[in-house]
Amino acid sequence: MPTARAQLVAAAFELFETEGYDATTVDSIAARAGVGRTTFFRAFKSKDEVVFPDHTRLLAGMQERLESGVGDPQARALDAALFVIRQFLAEGDLAVHRYRLTSTVPALRDRELAMMSRYQRVLGRFFLAEVTGEALAAELLASAWVTVHNHVLRDWMRGRTSTPEKDLTVGLDEALTALSRPAHEEQSIVVFRTSRPLDVVLPGLQTLLGEPVGPRKVPRRR
């Protein structure tokens, strides 16, 4: 026989989908799970908590990845993101059902936002300590982390991607590197003098740049 907690989760999801979240009472969930109302509130602090995964465990796992100390900070942030999203991916259908609920019921939407902000706080402290000393920059990195994670997860739950881990990796890389560069970057214009003929220099330059591209037309200014 499964644990009372699992019974309650199953009963809750069934009732929420058939009757709607607001229309189902905690009593009915407990009754369907075959336990008392008191047992429900012992397993979950509130009615909405039954929908969400164990965030304390997730937060602890994430923090562990962040503090693991292997790799540069950005790699650890990516590692932590992959850890978190894998927990959701492993849930399979359950995550999709939860998504339907959270996008429908305002109370659950708010609850989820509160959870995400806890992740963001932890990440903010991490980035502040490991990457930058500026509070605003750290908060921007943290919010970008959360945004990318949520976007990829939502894409996956809507069936819009089948490679969530790859999407998360490239999305996070782009966002974090874009944010950790100064806003107004300097461009370089260098002039060399040489006695070697250009016919010799240019092919060498091309191989140096990696991409064997020929000369491009300069885009005409509008």
In the complex, the smallest distance separating the C-beta of residue 55 from DNA, rounded to whole angstroms, is 16
Binding of DNA by 26 (CB under 7 A): yes
Please work out the total of residues on this chain that contact DNA, with binding judged by CB under 7 A.
Answer: 18
CB under 5 to 8 A by kind: which of DNA, a copy of itself, none does 45 bind? DNA
Q: What residue ranges bind a copy of itself (CB under 8 A)?
A: 109-111, 113-114, 117, 135-136, 139-140, 143-144, 146-148, 150-151, 171, 173-175, 177-179, 181-185, 187-191, 193, 198, 202, 205, 209, 215, 218
Cβ proximity to DNA, 30 vs 140, nearer residue:
30
Convert 65-99 to b/e letters by CB count within 10 Å (16 or more is b).
Answer: bbeeeeeebbebbbbbbbebbeebeeeeeebebbb
- Give the CA count within 13 Å in the CB-facing half-sphere of 210: 0
In the complex, the smallest distance separating the C-beta of residue 160 from DNA, rounded to whole angstroms, is 33
Contact by Cβ (8 Å): 119, 146: yes
Binding of DNA by 35 (CB under 7 A): yes
Site string for DNA, 40-79 (x = CB under 7 A): -xxx-xxxx-------------------------------
| Other CB atoms within 10 Å distance of the CB of residue 205 | 10
Cβ proximity to DNA, 4 vs 94, nearer residue:
4
Q: Which two three-digit tokens encode residue 99? A: 């998504």
Query: Exposed (0-12), middle (13-18) or buried (19+): which is 14, by Cβ within 10 Å?
Result: middle
Measured distance CA(112)–CA(170) in Å, rounded: 25
In the complex, the smallest distance separating the C-beta of residue 11 from a copy of itself, rounded to whole angstroms, is 26
Contact by Cβ (8 Å): 210, 161: no
In the complex, the smallest distance separating the C-beta of residue 187 from a copy of itself, rounded to whole angstroms, is 8
